[in-house]
Amino acid sequence: MEKVKVKLLTGRTIDQGTSKEHGKLSSEYQESVAICEIDPSDLKELALKQNSNIKISTKCGSVVVKAIESKRAPHPKVIYMPYGLWANLLIDSQTHGTGMPSFKGIPAYMEPAPDSNVLSLPELLKQVFKKG
């Protein structure tokens, strides 16, 4: 499968904020946070459709999320993920003296992940911390 080099941006969204009212274990929260907004041209390059599973990888880790066509195009090779555990798994904990890790412009790769599932928050926590 083809990997595409991209820059990852993360940030807050209205959907992320309002879905927290349902609780972080809710399907509403996962559907608003376990996503990656991608330029339509990049979706086409990877032959992906809306809500296809996609694997995002950085030097810090990787995660499978849903591919969402960005409404803010064009921005080829720039992807966006809302704040949440799924995005946090891709962020370097180093702060380089600023006290905050970098949440913008992170070198990343994306690739189709048709045979992988988007893990729920409890499943992801279990995987990350290797505890029952």
DSSP 45-114: HTT--TT-EEEEEETTEEEEEEEEE-SS---TTEEEEESSHHHHTTS----TTSSS---SSEEEEEEE-T
User: What pLDDT digit, counting tens, does each position of 49-79 carry?
Assistant: 999 999 999 999 999 999 999 999 999 999 9
pLDDT of residue 111: 97
Mean pLDDT of the chain: 92
> Which sequence spans correspond to the domains of the chain?
4-129
pTM across the whole model: 0.90
With a pLDDT cut of 70, the percent of the chain lying above it is: 95
Q: Domain 4-129, what architecture?
A: Beta Barrel (2.40)
User: What pLDDT digit, counting tens, does each position of 84-123 carry?
Assistant: 999 999 998 776 777 766 778 899 999 999 999 999 999 9
User: What pLDDT digit, counting tens, does each position of 12-43 carry?
Assistant: 988 888 998 899 999 999 999 999 999 999 99
CB of 46 closer than 8 Å to CB of 4: yes
